[in-house]
A and B are shown apart, each in its own frame.
Chain A
Amino acid sequence: MSQINQDDKVKPIDFSTKAHYLTKAFRSPFYSRQEPLNHLKEWGRWADYLSPHAYTCSGIEYFAARNACTVFDLTPMTKYHISGKDALPFLNRLVTRDVSKIKPGRVGYCCWCDDAGQVIDDGTIFHLSENTYRLCSQERHMDWLMTNTLGFDVLLSEETHNVAALALQGPTSCATLKRMGLDGIENMKLFDIRHFNFEDTQLMVSRTGFTGYLGYELWIDPEHAEVLWDRLFEAGNLHGIKPMGDEALQMLRVEAGFIQAAHDFMPANATIRTGHTRSPFELGLGWLVDFKKPVFNGRRALLEEKKRGHRYNLVKLDIDGNKPGCDSYVFTKNKKRVGTVTSATWSPSAKASVALASLEAPHGKPGEELLVEIYYQKELKWSRVMAKARVVKEVFFDPPRKRQTPPADF
């Protein structure tokens, strides 16, 4: 039984200093720096925050990320602080993988399910120190996390608004941070966390990202957000640094084969219609499911699913031609409809039209030939192609530098 009173487990968010009722949206702590750089003057919404689709042109930003480095404002990403003596068992019951394997100072990718074994979200667990973790995800999950505290001595708070975060991604990202004075940054391995003295505060750096390339994520208190931005751009000047918006990120993450909630799967707890959710196996995340743990949310249902077989496969498609197959139906060669594209982009690096698609099992074996029905428009005139496509196993962009330690400077 847990010692902490159920009502005391969650710290409420203090909104008193946020003027969001005036703006109807939060401005990122980097806003003063983003605003002049945002040449398009268009702002999208990411959860509670204003977030640029692109600062100048998503194509240019994409190439900067693959050939130099880019800065992406990560602040709106959901962040939870989880601590207390049961933090580890709490997380282990929450997510499907074995969290005890994520040592202090390391980050682990994970997904979590409802009792029916359907994925609620995927995200990353930062093991900050003994019994202290940060859980990052696309969607908000306070209700589900609170539900999960029952029986555990944990303290839970949402720290989305208390931590300013930037993703610095691309081949020159390490060199930039070195120049900014982060000594030893080159020795960080993929998924490492380090703390650096920066100005008169602490800067946390993790070697993580959503682009599938060399890259880092920088975490700091919001008061130091602007100085971090300034120092970063100063240091990156000779390394081709550029701010980047969400459109370029979408291209990068599809190339890298990363899935995203509400794009490639529906968060199970926000889905009403039966059959519209996916299990980890159906998203290619079976490797994250550890049945050796005696209990975790979804375990029983997933054991049954393993016996019964799963319904869908999430696959990567290499599509002929240059038209991105967004929102397209996928057919077999004899025109049987077997699924839909969930994310798609033209991949400048792979010089291919690439996509993630959810197909009815057993379709989706590597090498399988399929057809993608693509509608596209030129000056208001619509055309349709049935483009040939192949299921591929490898991600479209996977350079060795992603894992190299120390990484090359450029």
Chain B
Amino acid sequence: MTEINNQIVIIGGGHNGLVCASYLAKAGKQVTVLEAAGQVGGAAITREFAPGFKVSAGAHLLFMLDKTVCKELSLESAGLSFSQQNMTSTALAEDGNHLMIAGDSLQGANISSADQAAMKEYRRFMNRFAGIINRLNNRIPPRVGTKNRSDWIGLAKTALDVRMLGRDDMREFLRIAGINIYDILQENFENPLLKGALSLDGVLGTNLGPRSNNSVFCALHRLSGLQGMAVPRGGMGAVSNTLAMVAKQHGATIRTSATVSRILMDGDRVSGVELQDGEQITARTVVSNADPKKTFFDLLGARNLEAGFARRIQNIRMRGNVAKLHLALDGVPDFNGLNQNQLADRLLIAPDLDYVERAFNHSKYGEYSVKPVAEISIPSLHDDSLAPPGKHVLSAVVQYAPYQLKAGWSEEKAVLTDKVIDLLAAYAPGIRSQLVHKELLTPVDIENEFRISGGHWHHGELAIDQFLMLRPVPHSAQYASPVNGLFLCGAGSHPGGGVMGSAGRNAAHAVLGAKDIEGENS
């Protein structure tokens, strides 16, 4: 091996890896991104799933993209644009009497004026509380128990943020932040469709039901992007492709089909990586966009870690519970009671709170939901690059589908696919006859395609005990790991998953400010 040079290698070209690469390259570093897949983006990609039909194969709606990242990397002038923005969420009712939720205004479903008023207040305080999380998102989390000045300032800032809510809101924030969204929605609203739809904010992408603690926190995290729902033109891959372009413009090298098989060590620090074909690349700094378990166990090896830290990594909860359905349709699907305009909304199947909780119950016992919940988007209605003329693609996040299915996924996958299509058919009776192609990604497929251990949306359950200075685990929550020269930059780090870019940006700052712990003979 040649002498360790100052090159920075980033394992994984997910959107966070690309954001990190852009910042580091911008700061003048020599950066190489190594992505195992044939294209960049990780779970934020657009890819073909049937001849002529393309879809955002992982994330399909954009609502958390870090505005600072957007601005600092000038993503919009680099070409990022949207085919839809500020989307309305439509809570579907089988009888066609749907509820339209646009910001804090409600329409349809015989909604009461009490609910309409309550919605204004709900949005007000939820957005206010989400603002606190928003301000945490693009900061390196402070550590507790140190004497370090910046840690204290970080903690004090957050405490002050909470205090500045004023007496009533602060009390309410402290009351609800750790509890479940079921109770909060019951306290505030009457309409079952409304409650069902809003509960999804707290549970999509997680292992929670509406009645699970932490679901309010997850809802606040989801809202912390402080922006409406959008679909990038060209699908989610457009975000990643734009980022890759920016990274390259700043001088980063990006290699695809380059799978890292292990992280190399020289004494107590990293010295580079080895690719699957045996090629070794030396680097003094290795930043991993892969999830923490993959990074520390599969690539570095548990034996290169101290045991307490290894145990914490082992104990990270990160089993996915989400499936993704892609349908290629030979025409516009006909949903009861929706006109073509409304069809392009974010469509939700979550008719009431108990429906969602029941759907969740199955997953506790290693079964998928008999009647799942779904978040549906038909992006081709506003973007003709995704499907041949007159044809359409439907993309749906489907819950719950546990990673460790008791019956195993090999045969059950086809059964669940059918069940989900049946579910859609209850709202769009003709949809079966329009099917050209279908694809369902179970958490195991998600694990295989995106290389995310457990197939978890956030690279690790999003919960108060796995957030901020606890994410992924203490002693690596500041992006630097306990191994000199090894950093994390993916969704497994603060502030978690979703297409945001904040983790990548924060990690770049941590890399730029890092110092080794120097050992003897190392």
Q: Interface on A for B, CB 8 Å cutoff?
A: 1-2, 86, 89-90, 93-94, 114-116, 144, 147-148, 150-152, 291-292, 294-300, 303-304
Residues of chain A within 8 A of B95, CB atoms compared: none
B497-522 CB mask vs A (1 if < 8 Å, else 0) is 00000000000000000000111111
Is A144 within 8 A of B268, CB to CB?
no
Is A292 within 8 A of B521, CB to CB?
yes
In the assembled complex, how far is the CB of residue A211 from the closest CB belonging to chain B, in whole angstroms?
Answer: 32
Is A1 within 8 A of B298, CB to CB?
yes
Is B310 within 8 A of A150, CB to CB?
yes
A297 to B302, CA, bound (A): 12
In the assembled complex, how far is the CB of residue B522 from the closest CB belonging to chain A, in whole angstroms?
Answer: 7
Is A93 within 8 A of B303, CB to CB?
yes
Indicate which residue in A148, A292, A304 contacts B307 across the interface (CB closer than 8 Å).
A148
Is B521 within 8 A of A150, CB to CB?
no
Indicate which residue in B304, B306, B475 contacts A298 across the interface (CB closer than 8 Å).
B306
9 more A-B residue pairs beyond the given contacts A152-B302, A297-B306, with a C-beta to C-beta distance below 8 A: A94-B307, A115-B482, A147-B311, A150-B311, A291-B521, A294-B265, A295-B303, A300-B306, A300-B482
Is B301 within 8 A of A151, CB to CB?
yes
Indicate which residue in B297, B308, B309, B518 contacts A303 across the interface (CB closer than 8 Å).
B518
Instruction: Using A115-B475, A295-B268, A299-B268 as known contacts, say yes or no to A147 and B519 having CB atoms under 8 A apart.
Output: no
Indicate which residue in A89, A90, A297, A304 contacts B517 across the interface (CB closer than 8 Å).
A304
Instruction: Give the residue name and chain of the B residue nearest to A92 (CB).
Output: B303
A300 to B309, CA, bound (A): 12
Residues of chain B within 8 A of A115, CB atoms compared: 306-309, 475, 482
Indicate which residue in A86, A152, A296 contacts B306 across the interface (CB closer than 8 Å).
A296
Is B297 within 8 A of A1, CB to CB?
yes
- Whether a CB of chain A sits under 8 angstroms from the CB of B65 is no
Indicate which residue in A89, A151, A292 contacts B310 across the interface (CB closer than 8 Å).
A151
Indicate which residue in B265, B314, B517, B521 contacts A300 across the interface (CB closer than 8 Å).
B517
- Whether a CB of chain A sits under 8 angstroms from the CB of B430 is no
A150 to B304, CA, bound (A): 11
Is A295 within 8 A of B518, CB to CB?
no
- Ordered by A's residue number, 8 sampled pairs between the chains whose C-beta atoms are within 8 Å are A90-B303, A114-B308, A144-B307, A151-B303, A291-B520, A294-B268, A294-B522, A303-B519
- Whether a CB of chain A sits under 8 angstroms from the CB of B305 is yes
Instruction: Using A300-B482, A303-B517, A303-B518 as known contacts, say yes or no to A295 and B305 having CB atoms under 8 A apart.
Output: yes
Instruction: Give the residue name and chain of the B residue nearest to A90 (CB).
Output: B303
In the assembled complex, how far is the CB of residue B260 from the closest CB belonging to chain A, in whole angstroms?
Answer: 15
A147 to B309, CA, bound (A): 10
A296 to B522, CA, bound (A): 14
A291 to B518, CA, bound (A): 10
Is A147 within 8 A of B307, CB to CB?
yes
Residues of chain B within 8 A of A89, CB atoms compared: 303
Residues of chain A within 8 A of B522, CB atoms compared: 294
Indicate which residue in A2, A144, A295, A304 contacts B304 across the interface (CB closer than 8 Å).
A295
Residues of chain B within 8 A of A147, CB atoms compared: 307-308, 310-311
Instruction: Give the residue name and chain of the A residue nearest to B312 (CB).
Output: A115
Tally A-B pairs: CB < 8 A: 69
Residues of chain A within 8 A of B301, CB atoms compared: 1, 151
- Whether a CB of chain A sits under 8 angstroms from the CB of B388 is no
In the complex, chain B residues 209-268 whose Cβ is within 8 Å of any chain A Cβ = 265, 267-268
Is B314 within 8 A of A150, CB to CB?
yes
Instruction: Give the residue name and chain of the A residue nearest to B269 (CB).
Output: A294
Residues of chain B within 8 A of A303, CB atoms compared: 517-519
Instruction: Give the residue name and chain of the A residue nearest to B266 (CB).
Output: A294
In the assembled complex, how far is the CB of residue B470 from the closest CB belonging to chain A, in whole angstroms?
Answer: 15
In the complex, chain B residues 464-522 whose Cβ is within 8 Å of any chain A Cβ = 475, 482, 517-522
Residues of chain A within 8 A of B482, CB atoms compared: 115, 300
Residues of chain B within 8 A of A116, CB atoms compared: 308
Instruction: Give the residue name and chain of the A residue nearest to B262 (CB).
Output: A1
A152 to B302, CA, bound (A): 8
Instruction: Give the residue name and chain of the A residue nearest to B314 (CB).
Output: A150
A294 to B265, CA, bound (A): 9
In the assembled complex, how far is the CB of residue B292 from the closest CB belonging to chain A, in whole angstroms?
Answer: 14
Is A299 within 8 A of B306, CB to CB?
yes
Residues of chain B within 8 A of A90, CB atoms compared: 303
A89 to B304, CA, bound (A): 10
B267-304 CB mask vs A (1 if < 8 Å, else 0) is 11000000000000000000000000000011001111
A148 to B309, CA, bound (A): 10
Which residue, of B306, B309, B310, B518, has the highest number of chain A Cβ atoms within 10 A?
B306
A300 to B483, CA, bound (A): 9
Instruction: Give the residue name and chain of the B residue nearest to A117 (CB).
Output: B306
Residues of chain A within 8 A of B302, CB atoms compared: 2, 150-152
Is B297 within 8 A of A151, CB to CB?
yes
A229 to B184, CA, bound (A): 72
Instruction: Give the residue name and chain of the B residue nearest to A148 (CB).
Output: B307
In the assembled complex, how far is the CB of residue B60 from the closest CB belonging to chain A, in whole angstroms?
Answer: 34
In the assembled complex, how far is the CB of residue A319 from the closest CB belonging to chain B, in whole angstroms?
Answer: 37
A115 to B475, CA, bound (A): 10
Residues of chain B within 8 A of A295, CB atoms compared: 268, 303-306
Instruction: Give the residue name and chain of the A residue nearest to B265 (CB).
Output: A294
Residues of chain B within 8 A of A291, CB atoms compared: 519-521
In the assembled complex, how far is the CB of residue A220 from the closest CB belonging to chain B, in whole angstroms?
Answer: 33
Residues of chain B within 8 A of A292, CB atoms compared: 520-521
Instruction: Give the residue name and chain of the A residue nearest to B313 (CB).
Output: A150
A114 to B310, CA, bound (A): 12
Is A150 within 8 A of B307, CB to CB?
yes
Instruction: Give the residue name and chain of the A residue nearest to B311 (CB).
Output: A147
Residues of chain B within 8 A of A150, CB atoms compared: 302, 307, 310-311, 314
Ranked nearest first, the 5 interchain pairs of A and B with the lowest CB-CB distance are A151-B302, A115-B308, A291-B520, A151-B303, A294-B268
